[in-house]
Structure 1
Amino acid sequence: MSDILPDGLEAFLAGSGWAGAAVEPLAGDASFRRYFRIRLGEKLAMLMHAPPPQEDPTPFLRVGKWLDDNGLRAPRILAQDAGQGWVLLEDFGDVRMHEYVDAWPADEEAVYRTAIDALTVLHRLPPGPFLDYSMSEYVREARLFTEWYCPAHGLVVDHDGYTKAWETVLAQMLPRQRPGVCVLRDYHAENIMLLGSTEKQGLLDFQDALNGHPAYDLVSLLQDARRDVSAELETAMFDYYVKQAGAGEHFLADYARLGAQRNAKIVGIFVRLWKRDGKPRYLDLIPRVWAQLERDLTHPALEPVAAWFAANVPADLRAASGGKWQV
């Protein structure tokens, strides 16, 4: 984490009525965005810097407004200069779902139920003013596995067969995601803030929202890349969602499809973060994601993709992600 402040920060704060505020750099995420806690007397705010050309805060502002307008809890915007990548927003505090449930495991099921409740509220809404989660986008994401993970292990694989396997698996699901629900795409315990017993959960990192299948954010929450969710809790929360939302007979198969797609994508992204962006710490998360991918591949709906993995990725490079990385 760099303590060097970006150029233009003080000028933006001064123009927003926060001149002279103390600025505390915070740990970043897996993007080019940076975050700062801003203090001016008793006032607190968060500052996001999403610098162009790598980042554009406009989608964050647009999706956040839609969520707030529809009864969910995105941070309120205090000031912004989207062209320069600056957004000053409400400070949700420090109580993230991840750390809270790790510290208070007796509350884990109740906290997850509240997160499921927020999803059911979201999924009762009409689709948002967003693009559809298309076949081309699903496949583009899944290909991150063959584009980054496989070369990092020196694997020569059947790229065309991989694409065709995913198209076969996902084609059966696409009709069931129309007209679709708002999919936040990164709904997990590190992006959910606990604001207190009288407040809704605060949502973060939703700028890539699309309209898609309701199982996507559910699998994002219950097959978390960053914390262990027990099989018992995953099953209990899956059943709770199905009961609350009245999900149909194909929902479990679609959950497995999207779990496998998302986990394959994440493995690729974590390797890319190492190889391209110099962030090797994400490699330590890959074994958890692999284990989730393996479980998803056991569902009969994933048979073409499972067959591809069996033929192209040796067993010693699966699950535990062993073997030698190609630096």
Structure 2
Amino acid sequence: MRNFSQDERKIELADWVSQQLSGLQSAGLFSSLSDVTAESFEAVSGDASFRRYFRLKLEGGCANATSDLVPRQNQINSLIAVDSPPEHEDNESFVRIDGLLMKAGVRVPAVFANSFDKGFLLLEDFGDSTLLPLLELAKYEGRAEFTDCMYADAIRSILLLQKGVACSQLPVFDRDRLLEEMELFSQWFCEGLLDLKLIEQEREIIQKAFLFLADSIDAQPKIAVHRDFHSRNLLYLEAAEKDAINKLGVIDFQDAVSGPYTYDAVSLLRDCYLRWPTNDQARWALLYFEGAQSGQGGKVLADQLNGKSSLEFVNDFDLCGLQRHLKVMGIFSRLFLRDQKSTYLDNLPLTIRYFLEVSKDYSPLNNFSSWFSEKILPLAETRLKFSASEFIDGD
């Protein structure tokens, strides 16, 4: 194994960052800078992609930012350098959508410099306080006020995204893509992780369920969708202004699409990394729905939701969640089997739980839900070493 300090891309990234900072300083963006070498980079936890993140602390503890790039604060203590291989990552989409979200009022990191050819980015540093551990601690300590505040902020970000980014500016997330995503369940979860050879009758049951979900979700009102909006992609901005309305930063948005209006809300509230009691899920879901109906997500969405009952909304919310959780079962399995990222297996039992709890309430899914419970669940319990008896009937 090569020594990390000899990593050629890391060295190339450091050289590139040094050149960009010199240009930014000459342009008057920063008043003081430190020398940049690969050794001055501090590795930052990554995500499920091929990207790598490094923190660069600025000389003297801070530098003055005078550009409109960072309208929210004028003190920058550090920056994030990103190695994002262009053969694997769509960096042009990241930068373009970052600009759209920032214009919409969503708190996304400023992009100070980029090289699409090299796959390098220089970003504003949002820190390390992802929302997940903060929510886990608040849940353990019973701090309901903090939790409610964070989910209100997160829902506000969804509504800002929906109001401020036009569907025409994003790729379409249509019926075919919904079906394509659910195929990950068959390929990577059933056949890959569980080593199950699906017979023709089982494939027919699966296909009928997929078609029902895809047709139902495709009929929902379309709006701008982050597409991976959950507690690991939200950061608590400790340095946010005291009077800031929203203290949550949003990341990993480069796959944003025009898609079903419930997608981001169900991604957030039926988070595959963290579970809340069903009454809390419902309460926060209705907070989103009421905001969307009142126009906080834009007039276009409000008009489409005019006359829709809360029961109809819950139906939309549930079905969108079922599609996402089938996809996630496949993605987490692929991350393990193809990319050797085993930690995602720990999150599969919760994902399965969500699916079992919700699918039983929808009669068009009866055959699929029964087959899942009778055939898939026992295999998953053995493969993942958990017992569904611990969670099927309770919160």
TM-score of the pair, normalised by structure 2: 0.76
Specify the alignment match of 2:97 in structure 1: 63
CA shift for structure 1 position 62: 0.9
Amino acid at match of 2:130: R
Specify the alignment match of 2:176 in structure 1: 136
Q: Deviations over 1:71-93 (max 9, x none)?
A: 21111011111111111100011
| 1:104 match: secondary structure | helix
Asked if residue 184 in structure 1 is aligned to residue 218 in structure 2, the reply is no
Unaligned stretches of 5+ in structure 2? 23-34, 62-76, 294-304, 385-395
Amino acid at match of 1:185: R
* CA contact 1:291–1:319 (8 Å) conserved in 2: no
Residues 155/77 of structure 1: CA separation in 2 closer, same or farther (3 Å cut): same
Deviates more, 1:75-84 or 1:100-109: 100-109
Q: Deviations over 1:231-250 (max 9, x none)?
A: 22211101211222225232
* CA contact 1:36–1:48 (8 Å) conserved in 2: yes
CA shift for structure 1 position 156: 2.6
Q: Deviations over 1:170-214 (max 9, x none)?
A: 31332332xx21100111111111223433321100000000111
Asked if residue 315 in structure 1 is aligned to residue 374 in structure 2, the reply is yes
Specify the alignment match of 2:151 in structure 1: 112
CA shift for structure 1 position 316: 6.5
Pairing partner for 1:257 from 287, 312, 319: 319
Pairing partner for 2:236 from 184, 188, 194: 194
Cα distance in 2 for partners of 1:314, 1:169 equals 18
CA shift for structure 1 position 162: 2.1
| 2:219 match: secondary structure | helix
Q: Deviations over 1:257-302 (max 9, x none)?
A: 11011001111111111111111111111001000111221232xx
Cα distance in 2 for partners of 1:306, 1:120 equals 34
Write the mapping of 1:206-225 to structure 2, written as runs, cut at 5 A.
206-225=253-272
Cα distance in 2 for partners of 1:92, 1:29 equals 15
Specify the alignment match of 1:273 in structure 2: 335
Pairing partner for 1:24 from 37, 42, 46: 42
* CA contact 2:104–2:160 (8 Å) conserved in 1: no
| 1:285 match: secondary structure | helix
* CA contact 1:132–1:210 (8 Å) conserved in 2: yes
Write the mapping of 1:150-189 to structure 2, written as runs, cut at 5 A.
150-151=190-191, 152-157=193-198, 158-177=202-221, 180-189=222-231
Asked if residue 149 in structure 1 is aligned to residue 149 in structure 2, the reply is no
Specify the alignment match of 2:29 in structure 1: none
Cα distance in 1 for partners of 2:329, 2:92 equals 28
CA shift for structure 1 position 104: 3.2
Amino acid at match of 1:170: A
Amino acid at match of 2:249: G
> What RMSD over aligned residues (CA atoms) do the two structures have, in Å?
2.1
| 1:16 match: secondary structure | helix
Amino acid at match of 1:130: L
Write the mapping of 1:87-102 to structure 2, written as runs, cut at 5 A.
87-102=121-136
* CA contact 1:294–1:319 (8 Å) conserved in 2: no
What is the identity percentage for the equivalent residue pairs of Structure 1 and Structure 2? 27
Cα distance in 2 for partners of 1:3, 1:293 equals 41
* CA contact 1:166–1:305 (8 Å) conserved in 2: no
Amino acid at match of 1:294: L
Asked if residue 226 in structure 1 is aligned to residue 268 in structure 2, the reply is no
Cα distance in 1 for partners of 2:36, 2:127 equals 21
| 1:55 match: secondary structure | coil
Higher relative CO (Cα under 8 Å, sequence separation at least 6) belongs to 1
Specify the alignment match of 2:64 in structure 1: none
| 1:93 match: secondary structure | coil
TM-score of the pair, normalised by structure 1: 0.90
* CA contact 1:194–1:202 (8 Å) conserved in 2: yes
Residues 140/119 of structure 1: CA separation in 2 closer, same or farther (3 Å cut): same
Unaligned stretches of 5+ in structure 1? none
Specify the alignment match of 1:294 in structure 2: 356
Cα distance in 2 for partners of 1:223, 1:287 equals 13
CA shift for structure 1 position 220: 0.3
The answer to which structure has the higher helix fraction is 2
Amino acid at match of 2:234: I
Deviates more, 1:159-168 or 1:213-222: 159-168
* CA contact 2:170–2:257 (8 Å) conserved in 1: yes
Asked if residue 124 in structure 1 is aligned to residue 124 in structure 2, the reply is no
* CA contact 1:287–1:320 (8 Å) conserved in 2: no
Specify the alignment match of 1:53 in structure 2: 87
